[in-house]
């Protein structure tokens, strides 16, 4: 149907590979937020050559922002000949640290066996490159297109997105009338559309005690033993209850189709830093536990919190000297774009044309920047769609398949054509 457009993408395969490798060579490791500015400038330079208006936007004063590690985002916009909707492709440029176990240099952009290797290859510099190629091919095929196209490279997704999409959304970059449709090329596999994600509640629970000499623990009150009682109650009551809560959201992998809670950390007792390896001689008067609760569209956050505080309050009634504090660390509401939303239908059309089958619709177990687009930008026509295998993200020898990138660039280009030109040839 759109042969000219699809051939244009095939013809750009080498460019797509080179662009992906170039992006990987910027070691945009977060934390601390390395090489953000040169990476953002590189993207801006490329798009400027194609006539985009480009802007570098620093997330001033956001977590981690300082002159050594400025949170520099790039936003590029191209207005078509006539008015129409705006389609925005948003990719994060930050990557997690390389870690151990690599057989190739994680920041060399190694190309072999039909794959591009490197930290961020799949999550998500391959997706960013595919979206740029899709847009460039679309502009060449249909130079008179109506509406506008935006491409952004944003920072800090891996640490919550505060200096990136959240900051931009707070400045109106992800709201109507500036933007109508958002595609985030996260690595959810080339034939799947990700409609949203589960909710998150992170909290820190602290049990309180009273310090005393370790030889006479009966004179104090042991906060670690109190936390042991909390953990025992969680094991007995909370975890089995969470396991029973199933969702109708199509979360992948299937194990995440229920409520989950991770215990991220536990810290109790006096510091051992001043003489490493030696235990503290005291009865601990504080123990802190961090929980990471992922919840479902069917749950309400106040109920999610109450399940935990009910257990803590029960211990307070039943257990001598038990006392606690609880502090919210992070809250994200679950979000799910409707299946008949325009951006979903447009990308589904692309998947059907390229793969000749219906897309799979999925929900991500963890969150990504869509939360800020929905919550701050109040824009709900947003999905994640991009090449790459989710399980490879954050792992050693991360890679993205060249064929996968080409195919998903075609899907994105067809989606763009549906949204801006009604799918005309």
| Residues at the interface with Zn ion (CB under 5 A) | 123-124, 186
Cα-based angle 272, 278, 283 (whole degrees, multiple of 5): 65
Say if CB 39 and CB 23 are below 8 A apart. yes
Cβ neighbours, 10 Å, residue 122: 30
94 is known as an active-site residue: yes
Which bin fits 406, alpha (ψ -120 to 50), beta or left (φ > 0)? alpha
156 is known as an active-site residue: no
Min separation Cβ 392 and Zn ion, Å: 11
Min separation Cβ 186 and Zn ion, Å: 5
Please confirm whether the linkage preceding 260 is cis (ω < 30° from 0). no
Which residue out of 157, 180, 206, 285 is catalytically annotated? Answer: 157
Of the pair 123, 299, the CB lying nearest Zn ion is at 123
Cβ neighbours, 10 Å, residue 10: 12
Of the pair 2, 131, the CB lying nearest Zn ion is at 131
Please name the residues in contact with 273: beta carbons below 8 A apart, sequence gap of 6 or more: none
Min separation Cβ 213 and Zn ion, Å: 50
Which residue out of 94, 285, 369, 398 is catalytically annotated? Answer: 94
Give the position of tokens 């395969």.
13
Min separation Cβ 32 and Zn ion, Å: 18
Of the pair 12, 88, the CB lying nearest Zn ion is at 88
Say if CB 228 and CB 205 are below 8 A apart. no
Cα-based angle 236, 240, 246 (whole degrees, multiple of 5): 165
Min separation Cβ 397 and Zn ion, Å: 17
* C-alpha distances out from residue 156 to 64, 72, 332, Å: 9, 10, 16
By beta-carbon distance, which residue lies closest to Zn ion?
123
Of the pair 145, 167, the CB lying nearest Zn ion is at 167
Say if CB 383 and CB 347 are below 8 A apart. yes
Of the pair 65, 186, the CB lying nearest Zn ion is at 186
Pair of tokens at residue 253: 């992998």
Of the pair 30, 259, the CB lying nearest Zn ion is at 30
Min separation Cβ 157 and Zn ion, Å: 6
Of the pair 148, 155, the CB lying nearest Zn ion is at 155
Min separation Cβ 182 and Zn ion, Å: 15
Min separation Cβ 369 and Zn ion, Å: 8
Of the pair 295, 368, the CB lying nearest Zn ion is at 368
Active site residues: 94, 157
């Amino acid at each position: 149907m759109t042969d000219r457009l699809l051939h244009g993408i095939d013809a750009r395969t080498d460019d797509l590979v080179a662009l992906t490798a170039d992006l990987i060579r910027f070691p945009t490791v977060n934390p601390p937020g390395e090489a953000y500015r040169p990476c953002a400038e590189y993207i801006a330079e490329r798009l400027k050559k194609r006539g985009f208006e480009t802007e570098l936007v620093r997330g001033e004063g956001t977590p981690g922002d300082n002159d050594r590690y400025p949170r520099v985002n790039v936003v590029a916009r191209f207005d078509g000949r006539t008015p129409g909707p705006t389609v925005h492709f948003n990719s994060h440029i930050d990557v997690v640290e390389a870690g151990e176990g690599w057989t190739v240099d994680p920041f060399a952009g190694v190309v072999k066996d039909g794959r591009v290797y490197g930290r961020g290859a799949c999550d998500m510099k391959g997706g960013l490159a595919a979206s740029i190629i899709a847009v460039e091919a679309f502009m060449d095929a249909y130079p008179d297109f109506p509406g506008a196209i935006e491409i952004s490279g944003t920072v800090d997704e891996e640490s919550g997105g505060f200096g990136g999409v959240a900051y931009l959304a707070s400045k109106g970059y992800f709201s109507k009338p500036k933007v109508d449709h958002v595609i985030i090329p996260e690595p959810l596999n080339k034939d799947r559309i990700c409609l949203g994600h589960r909710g998150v509640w992170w909290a820190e629970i602290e049990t309180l005690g009273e310090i005393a000499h370790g030889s006479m623990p009966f004179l104090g009150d042991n906060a670690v033993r109190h936390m042991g009682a909390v953990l025992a109650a969680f094991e007995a009551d909370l975890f089995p209850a969470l396991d029973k809560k199933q969702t109708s959201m199509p979360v992948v992998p299937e194990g995440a189709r229920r409520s989950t809670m991770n215990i991220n950390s536990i810290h109790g007792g006096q510091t051992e830093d001043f003489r490493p390896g030696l235990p503290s001689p005291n009865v601990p008067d504080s123990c802190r536990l961090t929980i990471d609760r992922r919840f479902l569209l069917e749950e309400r956050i106040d109920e999610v919190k109450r399940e935990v505080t009910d257990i803590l309050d029960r211990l307070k009634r039943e257990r001598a000297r038990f006392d606690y504090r609880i502090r919210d660390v992070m809250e994200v509401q679950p979000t799910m774009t409707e299946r008949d939303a325009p951006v979903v239908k447009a990308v589904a059309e692309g998947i059907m044309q390229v793969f000749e089958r219906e897309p799979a619709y999925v929900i991500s177990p963890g969150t990504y920047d869509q939360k800020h687009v929905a919550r701050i930008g109040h824009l709900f026509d947003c999905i994640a769609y991009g090449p790459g295998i989710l399980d490879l993200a954050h792992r050693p020898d991360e890679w993205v398949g060249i064929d996968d990138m080409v195919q998903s660039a075609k899907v994105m280009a067809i989606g763009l054509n549906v949204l801006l030109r009604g799918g005309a040839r």
